[in-house]
Amino acid sequence: MAEIIVVTSGKGGVGKTTTSASLACGLAKAGKKTAVIDFDVGLRNLDLIMGCERRVVYDFVNVVHGEASIKQALIKDKRFENLYVLAASQTRDKDALTTEGVEKVLKDLADDGFDFIVCDSPAGIEKGAFLAMYFADRAVVVVNPEVSSVRDSDRILGLLASKTKRAENGERVKEHLLLTRYSPERVEKGDMLSIADVEEILGLKVIGVIPESPEVLQSSNSGVPVILDDASNAGMAYVDAVARILGEDKPLRFVTVEKKGFFSKMFGG
């Protein structure tokens, strides 16, 4: 049975699509048949980050409206045999998605043997974001360690607890925090909330902490999810996050200030 994971946040620009792409690649690399769906109708960025923008023929809205089959619209990733992308429409309105249409797409993917379906949610609380989370079994709430992002994420947690199918059935969506753009140096100076601060405010544990890293933007621009960059701290942190989603116990990395040794200080290393 497919597990549906929504990647969501209250605030835009925190790294949801980067996270969705990296989690999907990580799950596929771990041998799980994975689909990742862009719910951001009208904007569409997931296909760019996944590097398949030129291969989009049919999109999510086409499938919801019966204009194409799910098999016609799914784009098979060139790096992993078991990874597929369903792009959003750039030309349609956000109201083009319907609850019944989304449910059918998710059911068709589950029936086709997918292990994981990653839903890349638009920011905020409009229709696309609501539909991205409505059928979720698990939620990864992406948060920057600053006050406005944390406050907006608190609102999203409230919706996950009350406005999802699981909530209607008296169950809970399994919720995780994923901190992005984390800088131990800025935390130490008091310019940024610490991991403990965010966990305490939101009442949730982090499943991953992604360090601030120029490689994230570079990877996005080149159409290669940062998790595939083995030399990047951000990539390694996403690998750890996927392992935790799959039940492994991994210590957090890249969350403390590196202390310079005596010779580094002496010679400016």
For position 156, what pLDDT does the model report? 94
CA atoms within 13 A on the CB side of 25: 27
Residues 6+ apart with CB under 8 A from 89: 41, 42, 44, 59, 60, 61, 62, 96
User: pLDDT tens digits for the chain (269 residues)?
Assistant: 899 999 999 888 999 999 999 999 999 999 999 999 999 998 889 999 999 999 999 999 999 999 999 999 999 999 999 999 999 998 887 789 999 999 999 999 999 999 999 999 998 888 899 999 999 999 999 999 999 999 999 999 999 999 999 999 999 999 999 999 999 999 999 999 999 999 999 999 999 999 999 999 999 899 999 999 999 999 999 999 999 999 999 999 999 997 766 555 556 55
The pLDDT, as a whole number, for residue 93 is 78
pLDDT of residue 258: 79
Q: What is the pLDDT of residue 265?
A: 53
Order across the sheet with 138-143: list the strands. 75-76, 83-86, 34-38, 116-120, 3-8, 138-143, 174-182, 206-211
The residues, any chain, with a CB within 8 Å of residue 142's CB and separated by 6 or more, are 7, 8, 9, 14, 15, 16, 19, 178, 180
